[in-house]
Chain A
Amino acid sequence: NAGVTQTPKFQVLKTGQSMTLQCAQDMNHNSMYWYRQDPGMGLRLIYYSASEGTTDKGEVPNGYNVSRLNKREFSLRLESAAPSQTSVYFCASRERWNTEAFFGQGTRLTVV
C-alpha cells in the first residue's frame, strides 16, 4: 500500500508565484488534512476535509485554498506565495474521528 502520497517533495518558488501541492490516499479514508510544520511551532492545521465534498478552515488558512477533488485527493493551493509560507507541508488522512492519522512524507517548500 502506498498510503498517503504527496507531490512534489521539494519546491522553490519566487514571491508571488502560485503552485498546487497534491495529496492522494489509497486507504478509502473519509477525512483529509493539510498541516504546516515550522521549527518550534509543532503542527498547525491549515485546512481539513471531514468528508468528500466538505472543507473547513484550520488554525492558519490565510493565503491558502484547498480542493477535495474526490475521496482520494485533497490539494492545497498557494495563489501568491510569500516568504512566510516557507515551511514543510504535510498531508494526512483518517478513517474516523477517533482513529489515527496517516501522514505523507511532506513537501519542503521554500519561497524566496
Chain B
Amino acid sequence: GDSVTQMEGPVTLSEEAFLTINCTYTATGYPSLFWYVQYPGEGLQLLLKATKADDKGSNKGFEATYRKETTSFHLEKGSVQVSDSAVYFCARSAGNNRKLIWGLGTSLAVNP
C-alpha cells in the first residue's frame, strides 16, 4: 500500500550546519508531497509542498525537490538555526480516498 518512509531521528546539529532529512514514498499515482513542521507544544504547520515531478518547494530557507525517478522528497537547509529545532514530518496525498500518508517524523535539535 501507500507509504512514506523518513529517516529516523533524533538528529542533532550545531548551529549553521547543513541539514538533510531523507524522505521516500511509494509511487502509486502522482501524489502531491509535503513537509510539515511541529514546534514543541504546537500543531503541525505546512513547511513546503510540491505537486508534480521536478517541482521544488521552498520556505524559510528549507528546500525539497520532487524526484519521481528516485521517489524521494528530501528536506534540506544550508544553515540551520536553534529556532529550527522541531519535529519534521513528510507526507504524500493518497489519491481519491482523501487521506494523507505520513512518515513517522524526525526530531531535530540544533545546538548553539
Contacts and interface: CB of A to CB of B under 8 A. Distances in A.
A100 B100 CA distance: 9
A95 to B, nearest CB: 11
A58 B93 CA distance: 15
A94 to B, nearest CB: 8
B65 to A, nearest CB: 17
Contact of A103 (B45, B99, B104): B45
Tell me the interface secondary structure of chain B in the complex: mixed
Between B44, B49, B91, the greatest number of chain A beta carbons within 10 A of the residue's beta carbon is seen for B44
Nearest to A41: B104
A100 B46 contact: yes
Contacts of A41: 104
Contacts, number: 55
Given A50-B98, A58-B99, A98-B51, A42 B43 contact: no
Taking residues whose C-beta sits less than 8 angstroms from the other chain, chain B's interface range is 20 to 34
A100 B43 contact: no
Contacts of A82: none
Interface string A64-108: 000000000000000000000000001010100111111111100
Tell me the interface secondary structure of chain A in the complex: strand
Contact of B103 (A42, A97, A98): A42
B60 to A, nearest CB: 15
B102 interface: yes
Contacts of A99: 32, 93
A31 interface: yes
A57 B107 CA distance: 29
Nearest to A101: B100
Interface of B: 31-32, 34, 42-46, 49, 51, 89, 91, 93-100, 102-105
5 contacts: A42-B102, A42-B105, A48-B99, A101-B46, A103-B44
